């Protein structure tokens, strides 16, 4: 039975699940931390509101209902001074709004804002400023039968007429509870950005958590990409060695066979044929060895360039001469369109020649039919440019971004099987960049392939 997932894929899957689980746990911790901080702030505000009301009453800012009934503004500066100082002592620096009001219709309503009236009247941070403690607290927690004059004095309702005896308080609570509740004066606070107050309280932990999770995710993605790249590199190296074996085996077999025939055959007319065969196959082997040496240069990162003044037009003509045998065999056409400008550059003649050789050889190899190759030189944007284009099938779009990668071969339906090691273009790119130049594939050219090399003028 075929396995559904490879061991490599299982590791990636399990690592992804583990990382996702850690992320969910961290997210839950942040949520719970924020919720607990909100509850803590809520409790502190509920505890602090009666203290604020008491302080405001002690400073006689909201102690007189009759004065508040007059259409005069409340002493905002004095009130906010008290509230600010008490909130800051508790470490609360949020914006806030406050109001002093009666619940009855058209009752007293004084506030430092024209907004949030409903929110202030229904706020969780509300206290009876007339009696310091809330009415519900009196109704639910005070045992009327055990009230004394001392406890009545603590409730602090003496300012209301008829409220100086226990019996009158009992009557008020049991018979006129709703009326009494509407008459008394309430103080409330409202913080519209209370959510952000809790966020700021855990901001450092939140930022550190997000940073570390982001770093962990980045490292995980980097590791996955590195593994994928390593796996791909391992595969292309295997392909490279398999192809290299084929490329070396064929000429070696031909040389061995020709040598065996020469030993037995004394016909002088046939000797020349077999000697030419041996010579040609030896040149092929030499070419393959050169490519291996190119790969060694790229991988060693110790490539040294012997720079001198090089005339590029002469170099191109020399490369065409070296490829004359292949050009004649394929009945190819080479069009040279050289600029009249000076085309001398400071560079390594051998490596630059190899670069142009690789590009022209690829054009001959992959064009098919009767190749037609155009080599142009011109000056553009203060750069010396060489264009090498053919009229072949071109490179499929899905491969264009990878053609300069080491060992890459644009294999599609094995159309390039046995053609090259996949190191030529990576070598060309390395050499051109070592000369401060740039090489690109012109993706806009649709009639085949066009490689453009540019060097500083």
Secondary structure (3-state) at 348: coil
HSE-CB at 68 with a 13 A cutoff on CA atoms is 23
Q: Are residues 173 and 193 in the same domain?
A: no
Contact 349, 390 (CB under 8 A): no
Q: Are residues 308 and 289 in the same domain?
A: no
User: For residue 390, what pLDDT is reported?
Assistant: 92
Q: Are residues 368 and 414 in the same domain?
A: yes
CATH number at residue 229: 1.10.287.130
Number of domains forming the structure of the chain: 4
Among 401, 400, 399, smallest CA distance to 411 is for 399
Q: Are residues 116 and 258 in the same domain?
A: no
Q: Are residues 195 and 67 in the same domain?
A: yes
User: For residue 379, what pLDDT is reported?
Assistant: 92
User: For residue 165, what pLDDT is reported?
Assistant: 40
Q: What is the DSSP letter of 441?
A: E
Secondary structure (3-state) at 436: coil
Segments forming the whole domain that contains residue 33: 1-124+189-201
Average pLDDT, the chain: 77
Q: Are residues 216 and 327 in the same domain?
A: no
User: For residue 384, what pLDDT is reported?
Assistant: 93
User: For residue 145, what pLDDT is reported?
Assistant: 43
Report the Cα 197 to chain-centroid distance in Å: 29
CATH number at residue 365: 3.30.565.10
Q: pLDDT per residue over 255-287, tens digit each?
A: 888 788 777 776 677 777 777 778 777 877 776
Instruction: Give the count of beta carbons closer than 10 Å to the beta carbon of residue 348.
Output: 19
Q: Are residues 196 and 210 in the same domain?
A: no
Q: Are residues 36 and 139 in the same domain?
A: no
CA distances from 427 to 295, 358, 361, 441, 452 (A): 7, 9, 14, 15, 15
Q: Are residues 283 and 327 in the same domain?
A: no
- Distance separating alpha carbons of residues 276 and 141, to the nearest angstrom: 117
Which H or E element spans position 281? helix 268-300
Contact 362, 392 (CB under 8 A): no
User: For residue 140, what pLDDT is reported?
Assistant: 43
Measure CA of the first residue to CA of the last residue in the chain; give whole Å.
64
Contact 431, 358 (CB under 8 A): no
Of 283, 299, 315, the residue that ends a domain is 299
Q: Are residues 195 and 52 in the same domain?
A: yes
Q: Are residues 286 and 308 in the same domain?
A: no
Of 170, 201, 232, the residue that ends a domain is 201
Of 284, 299, 314, the residue that ends a domain is 299
Contact 157, 169 (CB under 8 A): yes
Q: Are residues 410 and 288 in the same domain?
A: no
Positions in the chain whose pLDDT score sits under 70? 1-5, 8, 62-72, 131-182, 246-247, 266-267, 287, 291, 294-303, 407-422
- Distance separating alpha carbons of residues 273 and 108, to the nearest angstrom: 120
pTM assigned to the model: 0.49
């Amino acid at each position: 039975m075929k396995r559904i997932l490879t061991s490599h894929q299982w590791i990636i899957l399990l690592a992804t699940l583990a990382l996702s689980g850690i992320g969910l746990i961290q997210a839950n911790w942040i949520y719970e931390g924020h919720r607990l901080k909100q509850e803590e702030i809520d409790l502190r505000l509920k505890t602090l509101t009666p203290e604020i009301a008491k302080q405001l009453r002690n400073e006689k800012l909201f102690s007189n209902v009759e004065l508040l009934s007059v259409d005069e503004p409340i002493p905002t500066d004095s009130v906010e001074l008290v509230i600010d100082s008490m909130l800051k002592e508790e470490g609360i620096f949020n914006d806030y709004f406050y109001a002093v009001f009666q619940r009855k219709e058209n009752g007293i309503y004084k506030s430092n804002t024209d907004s949030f009236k409903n929110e202030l009247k229904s706020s969780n941070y509300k206290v009876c400023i007339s009696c310091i403690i809330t009415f519900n607290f009196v109704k639910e927690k005070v045992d009327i039968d055990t009230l004394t004059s001392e406890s009545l004095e603590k409730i602090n309702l003496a300012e209301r007429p008829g409220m100086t005896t226990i019996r009158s308080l009992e009557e008020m609570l049991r018979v006129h509870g709703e009326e009494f509740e509407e008459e008394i004066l309430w103080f409330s606070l409202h913080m519209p950005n209370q959510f952000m107050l809790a966020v700021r309280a855990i901001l450092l932990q939140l930022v550190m958590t997000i940073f570390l999770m982001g770093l962990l995710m980045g490292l995980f993605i980097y590791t996955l990409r590195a593994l994928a790249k390593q796996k791909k590199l391992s595969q292309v190296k295997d392909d490279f060695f398999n192809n290299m074996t084929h490329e070396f085996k064929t000429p070696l077999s031909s040389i061995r066979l020709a040598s065996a025939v020469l030993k037995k055959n004394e016909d002088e007319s046939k000797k020349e044929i077999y000697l030419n065969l041996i010579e040609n196959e030896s040149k092929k082997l030499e070419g393959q060895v050169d490519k291996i040496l190119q790969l060694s240069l790229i991988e060693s990162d110790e490539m040294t360039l012997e720079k001198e003044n090089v005339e590029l037009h002469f170099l191109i003509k020399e490369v065409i001469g070296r490829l004359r045998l292949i050009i004649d065999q394929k009945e190819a056409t080479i069009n040279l369109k050289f600029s009249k400008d000076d085309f001398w550059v400071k560079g390594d003649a051998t490596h630059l020649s190899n670069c142009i050789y690789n590009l022209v050889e690829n054009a001959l190899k992959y064009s098919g039919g009767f190749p037609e190759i155009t080599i142009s030189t011109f000056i553009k944007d203060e750069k010396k440019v060489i264009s090498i284009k053919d009229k072949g099938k071109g490179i499929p779009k899905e491969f264009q971004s990878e053609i300069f990668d080491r060992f890459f071969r644009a294999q599609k339906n094995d159309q390039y099987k046995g053609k090259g090691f996949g190191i030529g273009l990576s070598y060309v790119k390395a050499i051109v960049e070592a000369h401060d130049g740039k090489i690109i594939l012109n993706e806009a050219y649709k009639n085949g392939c066009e490689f453009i090399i540019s060097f500083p003028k």
